[in-house]
Amino acid sequence: MVIYAGSINRDHVHMLIGIPPNLSVSRAVQYLKGKSSHKLLSEYQHLKKKYWGQHLWGRGYWVCSSGNVTDEVWKEYIKNQKPPHPDDDFEVV
């Protein structure tokens, strides 16, 4: 998989990714959620305590193919997904 663009908000993540044709979309999302959850929970102990016995990510996801729109349009859309006003003290380090 290749991540071409991304934006992280408090309650969701936008990504433009390329996946190989032999990998299903659901398997790719499962992999991304699983690996990122494991990494976040192992690096940030306060998250491990907060989400003990629960799931870090929600069950759902939304996917759209970029066949009718250029990748540049999607990248611009994702870049503009920042909230208009700062969201409390949320920041990505």
Do 63 and 25 contact (CB within 8 A), yes or no? yes
Model confidence, pTM: 0.66
Nearest 5°: CA angle at 63, between 25 and 80? Answer: 135
Active-site residue flag, 51: no
> What is the chain's pLDDT, residue by residue, as a tens digit (93 residues)?
998 888 887 777 888 889 999 999 999 998 988 888 888 878 888 877 777 667 777 788 888 877 777 888 888 888 877 766 666 665 555
Predicted local confidence at residue 20, as pLDDT: 94
DSSP state of 12: -
Pick the catalytic residue: 4, 44, 61, 77? 77
DSSP bridge partners of 7: 14
Do 37 and 44 contact (CB within 8 A), yes or no? no
Do 6 and 78 contact (CB within 8 A), yes or no? yes
Give Cα 33 to chain centroid, integer Å.
8
Predicted local confidence at residue 91, as pLDDT: 57
Predicted local confidence at residue 84, as pLDDT: 64
